[in-house]
Amino acid sequence: MNSLNVQRVAVVGCGALARLMHLPNIRENPSLRLTVVCDVDAGVAEECRREFGAERAESDWRRVVEAEDVDFIVLATHTNLRADLIVPALHAGKAVYTEKPLAAERGEMLRILRATRETGRPVCVGHNRRSSPAVLELKRLLDRARDGECGPATRPTVDRDTGRAPLPEQAQTMIMMRINDDVRSWKDWIFWDEEGIMFAEMVHFIDLALWLHPSPPVRVFAEGSARGNFVMTLRFADGSLANFHHTFVGSFDYPKELIEVTANHVTLSLEQHLEVRQCGLSDEPLRRTFPIDPRSGWARVEGVQDYFAEMESERARAVQENRPARWINVIKGHAEHLDRFAECVAGRGPNPCDVESAIPVNRIAMKFLESVRCGMPVTIGPEDWHLPGGLH
């Protein structure tokens, strides 16, 4: 790190995610300096150097690992490049922010884990929804619901609970995540990749389920096509359940993500990272809204209702002006996750998603793939989520 306390960053892999998220976020962050952009296509790397103001472009990631003017690397390639870069980068003293999934093979995950433990250098996995302001609010409310810190809860109109012993199920948490996707937005590789969308995309939501609920996972079941239309159920040791419903025959004009959680007679709902609603916590507001991405500053949105109204108006404007309708981007935590990791690298905060927490997510995603292929529930054992020798 240089004397001005600005961290020098290299981005390896200049595809759509890097161009849409990581490179603009680095450019707009005053505590980060974009030193290098690297892509196997030298022309693409040079184009990104000019567009985002990097100091130089490279086409060989090994030169990035060896560079003395890089504090941490953002790895935004497909999973065909993970441990081969991450392990030598850590031994060279560099921290690494890697896109999800961490790796597609168990041995590769362990190589990365061992390197983090040997070097003490941090690796952050891009499960960015952990850093979404709306998701953080959902988790805060869920923690309050479980802890019972909120004072007297609202009661049902008819309450027959008085004097009755609690049912065992009343201690459980139920999680539902609906992902409305559009197959037309996916690149062709996803349909040829052995793991497909069930692995490449659903690690986001499996990670959230494990992060939201502390009970160990014990079983999974998946039904449908791993390429896109499927339902998945994750059972926890305490009987709690997380259900994931993914479709890729939806429309992006409709909000992509809906999460609902119920616990201790509290119902929580997060929609499209724009608003969080709750019922059951009497001292909390029923609804909180969150801003859209500043890059969609042309829109005026406060919550889901405004989102629909603005989308309808934008479609009308687009027809009138003979142009494509603009997309309203929401804040899913990409910039916040990277900024939190930069603070971690600087010694000013925790790692928002370390390797120790990402490996169980990938292993469970593999169990879901096994389940959908064999058409049967698949057991999760401690060896899938527990990593021996970790920090207490």
What's residue 364's pLDDT?
Answer: 96
**What pLDDT digit, counting tens, does each position of 218-275 carry?**
999 999 998 889 999 999 999 999 999 999 999 988 999 999 999 999 999 999 999 9
DSSP 98: E
Task: List the alpha helices (DSSP H) in 67-102.
Answer: 83-91
Sign of the C-alpha dihedral, residues 118, 119, 120, 121? Answer: negative
CA angle 54–57–60, rounded 5-degree value: 140
What's residue 195's pLDDT?
Answer: 74
Please tell me the distance from the alpha carbon of residue 7 to that of residue 9, in angstroms, as a whole number: 6
What's residue 156's pLDDT?
Answer: 63
Which DSSP string do the residues of 232-291 spell out, in sequence order?
EEEEETTS-EEEEEEESBS-TTS-SEEEEEEETTEEEEEETTTEEEEES-TTS-SEEE-P
Domain ranges of the chain: 7-121, 130-290+361-382
Enumerate residues 6+ apart whose C-beta is below 8 A from 360. Answer: 210, 217, 384, 385, 386, 387
What's residue 378's pLDDT?
Answer: 97
pTM of the model: 0.92
Residues of the chain with pLDDT under 70: 1-4, 149-157, 390-392
What's residue 3's pLDDT?
Answer: 45
| Domain with residues 130-290+361-382, CATH architecture | 2-Layer Sandwich (3.30)
| Domain with residues 7-121, CATH architecture | 3-Layer(aba) Sandwich (3.40)
